[in-house]
Structure 1
Amino acid sequence: MSSLRTLVFFATPAHDCSYLPDREATTMFVDPRANIDKKLYSQLTSLGFRRSGSHYYRPHCEACNACIPVRLNVNDFLPDRSQRRVMKKNNDLECILVPATFSESYYQLYANYVELRHKDGDMYPPSREQFTSFLIEGTTNSLFLEMRKNGELVALAAVDTLDDGLSAIYTVFDPALEHRSLGTFAVLWQIEETRRRDLPHLYLGYWIEQCQKMNYKTRFKPTEALQDGQWRSLDVS
């Protein structure tokens, strides 16, 4: 079994940044041959790494530190008025956690979401192979949160289990139901699930202050950010 001491890391060549225009990015990856169990994955996450399929990575840009890992202290979280409205709006949904496996209904929801919401992103055009490599491969501690209305799948969130919490990987939903704020609802549900498991943290990935699409992450307070190797409170108005 691999450990932090024995891990080997690789850095990609500089490439165009996916989030900030006119910037180049470099990504550090854990050697894909490493055997990563839940304990090691939890340690990597606390050090700012994320998982995409079977790859564990974090930004490693020479002249930029805009990508900041953030997490939420779930026991101190109190929903604001807007978040309470989202919970009330979606109290008619059936939400269950299931093993992270492939199904055609999952893929069709994912493909529709990418087609209509992310044509300018790295995931376009969607494919079954891409869905599998992104959300199914490497999922030894992973679950899918199904959100259904009258039995119909309306949203799906990929969730990883860690020693100290949950990690919100990705959420897709029916774009026709945008008024429900299902992305926000998925995070709120995961906050409650983290509490039910008596764990302290929900990891929300990277936050970039200049990237408007990521603003939602700091609306869940109290937010902590990993800066200079330490998790500290992040005060964002």
Structure 2
Amino acid sequence: MTSHPRDTPQFYLTAPSPCPYLPGFQERKVFTHIVGRRAREINEVLTQGGFRRSQTIAYRPACEQCQACVSVRVLVDEFSPTGGMRRVLRRNDDLVGTEIPNRPSSEQYALFRRYLEARHGEGGMVDMTVLDYALMIEDSHVETHLVEYRRRGPDTAVHGRGQGPLVAVCLIDELSDGLSMVYSFFDPDFADRSIGTYLILDHVRRARERRLPHLYLGYWVRESKKMAYKERFVPQERLLASGWVRAT
């Protein structure tokens, strides 16, 4: 029997399943485990190669007749918000994001459930239990943290934290060349604030403050309305067969 060290990734291919983005299409994914001493190094290389992380799994589409899923990353130093994006920033100026370790809480899970039921009631994640959620947040061998958003309060200027109920949460991987937005969710009552756009804008700022050149947004699918928002964050680079290509 041939054995492989945990630090050497082995790749596997999933069976076909319905595509979550394009009705009538089938998807397949290639995946590997991100564990061991080289987990962070491997995750960085794979992220730069178009993979996404979910817990200790890195995956990317490997569909036989479709290349619709395109990895995108914002060019942080050159990014400038549009007039509409500046209005979104002003509309959410009363929110404060606090970075914390990637530890789950009952408050997060309650908000996560409300978000799924309002926005993704028929998606595959709607059946996630509190244990599933905890694993999504804390099962990581790479540098990962959460950002919790709450309203600005009277003591925020003193201790830098928001106060009151949780409004939004982002799960973030920190790479040597950027931040990767793994997953985010928010209070559906705040949907009219374009809070999803706000979370991306806030992480562009966080990447810039760290002097990191990229913000990884995951996959963009031209034909999918739910993915259309990602193309508004330009300039960005898209991963094509020839490598990362600038799009403006």
Aligning the two structures, in what range does the TM-score lie when normalised by the shorter sequence? over 0.9
Aligned partner of 1:44 in structure 2 is 46
- 1:152-171 mapped onto 2 (5 Å cutoff): 152-171=165-184
Aligned partner of 1:107 in structure 2 is 109
User: Match for 2:97 among 82, 92, 95?
Assistant: 95
Write the letter of the residue equivalent to 2:101: P
User: Match for 2:150 among 148, 151, 157?
Assistant: 148
Q: What's the CA shift string for 1:94-147, capped at 9, x where partnerless?
A: 211111111001111101100111012111133212212323211531111111
**Whole-angstrom distance in 2 between the partners of 1:90 and 1:166:** 21
Instruction: Tell me if 1:232 matches 2:234.
Output: no
Q: Which has the higher Rg, Structure 1 or Structure 2?
A: 2
Runs of 4+ in 1 over 3 A off after TM superposition: 31-36
Q: CA deviation at 1:182?
A: 1.3
Aligned partner of 1:120 in structure 2 is 122
Aligned partner of 1:197 in structure 2 is 210
Instruction: Tell me if 1:65 matches 2:67.
Output: yes
**Whole-angstrom distance in 1 between the partners of 2:242 and 2:129:** 37
Aligned partner of 1:18 in structure 2 is 20
User: Match for 1:181 among 190, 194, 211?
Assistant: 194
Write the letter of the residue equivalent to 2:199: A
**Whole-angstrom distance in 2 between the partners of 1:23 and 1:53:** 26
Where structure 2 has 5 or more consecutive residues not aligned to the other structure, the ranges are 154-162
Normalised TM-score (structure 2) = 0.89
**Sequence identity percentage:** 36
Where structure 1 has 5 or more consecutive residues not aligned to the other structure, the ranges are none
**Whole-angstrom distance in 2 between the partners of 1:63 and 1:103:** 41
Q: What SS is found at the alignment partner of 1:70?
A: strand
**Whole-angstrom distance in 1 between the partners of 2:91 and 2:6:** 45
Q: Is the 8 A contact 1:52 1:135 kept in 2?
A: no
Aligned partner of 2:228 in structure 1 is 215
Matched pairs, number: 233
Q: CA deviation at 1:36?
A: 4.4
**Whole-angstrom distance in 1 between the partners of 2:41 and 2:34:** 17
Q: Is the 8 A contact 1:74 1:200 kept in 2?
A: yes
**Whole-angstrom distance in 2 between the partners of 1:26 and 1:34:** 26
